[in-house]
Amino acid sequence: MSNTSSQMDISPLPQSGGDALPDNWLDTLVGYALRRAQMKVFQHLVGKLAEHDLRPAQFTAMVIIDNEPGLMQADLARQLAIEPPQLVPLLNKLESRGLAQRVRGVQDKRAYGVFLTKAGIALLGKLKAIAVASDEAATAALDEDERAQLLRLLHKVNG
């Protein structure tokens, strides 16, 4: 006999160790807890990046471009998990700020590689420090071991 949603056991999970489970049923779901934690960490970073007139996607793009100078636009879009047309306004913003530039490919004139400018490299150094400080502030409730364990577990989930 298959379980319908009304027949499924939705009682709280058994406790393990000394940590009490939350009263809210949603908080027993990994996805829900991840999303709430992501929102907390994300909002902290959004505020810090806004001071530099940037969004997290633009910062992420800058980090990827810095790691892979000359990366083709299509590959950058893939790494950002967005459609190539969505990348255009993001790159337009970075270019208009003098932080990145697109260079036409030598072999394929239709393709463009993306590079950070000197100003982009300089700002990225500051932004990385801001991101680290923001990350640490948003996860201040964790000690070093807990933070390392959380990162290991998240990398395992993202596997």
Count of domains in the chain? 1
Instruction: Name the residue range of residue 105's domain.
Output: 30-158
Establish if 19 belongs to a structural domain: no
Q: What is the CATH number of the domain that holds 105?
A: 1.10.10.10
Establish if 25 belongs to a structural domain: no
Establish if 79 belongs to a structural domain: yes
Supply the pLDDT for residue 110. 75
148-153 mean pLDDT: 94
- What residues does 71 pair with on adjacent strands? 114
Establish if 127 belongs to a structural domain: yes
Supply the pLDDT for residue 107. 74
Query: Does the structure show a pLDDT above 60 at 51?
Result: yes
CA 156 to each of CA 16, 55, 72, 104, 150: distance values in angstroms, whole numbers, following the listed order: 21, 27, 29, 38, 10
Q: How many CA atoms lie within 13 A of 9 on its CB side?
A: 4
- Among 106, 100, 104, 136, which Cα is nearest to 119's? 100
- Give 60 or 13, the one with higher predicted confidence: 60
Task: Encode 66-88: b = buried (16+ Cβ within 10 Å), e = exposed.
Answer: beeeebbbebbbebbeeeeeebe
> What confidence category does residue 19 fall into, taking pLDDT thresholds of 50, 70 and 90?
low
Write the pLDDT tens digit of every residue in 95-137. Answer: 999 999 999 877 777 778 999 999 999 999 999 999 999 999 9
pTM strictly above 0.75: yes
Establish if 22 belongs to a structural domain: no
Would you say the C-alpha torsion 13, 18, 20, 21 has a positive or negative sign?
A: negative
Supply the pLDDT for residue 21. 58
- Give 9 or 116, the one with higher predicted confidence: 116
Write the pLDDT tens digit of every residue in 55-94. Answer: 999 999 999 999 999 999 999 999 999 999 999 999 999 9
Establish if 48 belongs to a structural domain: yes
